[in-house]
Amino acid sequence: MRGRSFLLFVLLVGLLGPSLSFADLVAEDSEDNKWAVSYIAKNSVHATVNGQVTHGDGLHVRLVKGHCDKGNLLTFVYTYSNHPRIEKLKGTYLTTKFLGGEVIVKVVHASPFLMGHRATIDMGWGGIDELKEILGSKNPLVIEYVDSHGLKITDYFDIIQNSWSNVGVSDALDRAVEMCEKL
């Protein structure tokens, strides 16, 4: 499949020349434990890596058209826990341990997904160089959700820890910035 994506990209560049548009940007094939630019939308580009504990709960840096010098760090939590108020986590701040320090994150969305629920977690914004430094600092990158403010996290999430590789993060962010600027 990797060859097909590359061939498609080469054909598009050959046919269209230097005048690439959003429709011409092609997401990279993902490879386990290696950062790639694997999601491109009309107004954003995501550099991503799969989760090591829960594969589908990747770590994303989202760059938004017109603001390609900053990235929004996002992750996801898939859970089988069937807490009756899990969808009400939207807008809630959670305490985590991330890279050895306490980091407060925000649940921006929680909804039914497959046979459980999926929460989208906003970890904040940072400049691209700052994100390269943070995400390049330790391997693996580890997050753990902890109890706080009367919220027992294991009532909501059955897996409270995930980790991600930082292999290729700096290069993937450079490619994401380049693609974002072409949106």
- Give residue 21's pLDDT: 47
Is residue 148 within 8 A of residue 96, CB to CB? The reply is no
User: What tens digit of pLDDT does each residue of 144-179 get?
Assistant: 999 998 899 999 999 999 999 999 999 999 999 999
Q: Per residue in 42-82, pLDDT tens? A: 999 999 999 999 999 999 999 999 999 999 999 999 998 87
Burial class (CB in 10 A: 0-12, 13-18, 19+), 39: middle
Task: Evaluate whether 63 touches 39 at the Cβ level (below 8 Å).
Answer: no
Which residues lie across from 118 on neighbouring strands?
78, 111
Residue 23 scores a pLDDT above 60? no
What length does the chain have?
183
| Distance from C-alpha of 179 to C-alpha of 105, rounded to nearest angstrom | 27
Domain that holds residue 96: 2-181
Query: Which letter, b or e, does each residue of 112-146 get, where b requires 16 or more Cβ atoms within 10 Å of its Cβ?
Result: eeeeebbbbbbbeebebeebbebbeeeeebbbebe
Specify the amino acid at residue 58: G
Total domains in the fold of the chain: 1
What is the SS3 assignment for the chain?
Answer: CHHHHHHHHHHHHHHHCCCCCHHHCCCCCCECCECEEEEECCCEEEEEECCCCCCCCCEEEEEECCEEEEEEEEEEEEECCCCCCHHHHCCCEEEEEECCEEEEEEEEEEEEECCEEEEEEEEEEEEHHHHHHHHCCCCCEEEEEECECCECHHHCCCCCEEEECCCCHHHHHHHHHHHHHCC
pLDDT tens digit string along 69-121? 999 999 999 998 877 888 889 999 999 999 989 999 999 999 988 888 999 99
Please report which confidence band the pLDDT of residue 29 belongs to, taking 50, 70 and 90 as the band edges.
Answer: confident
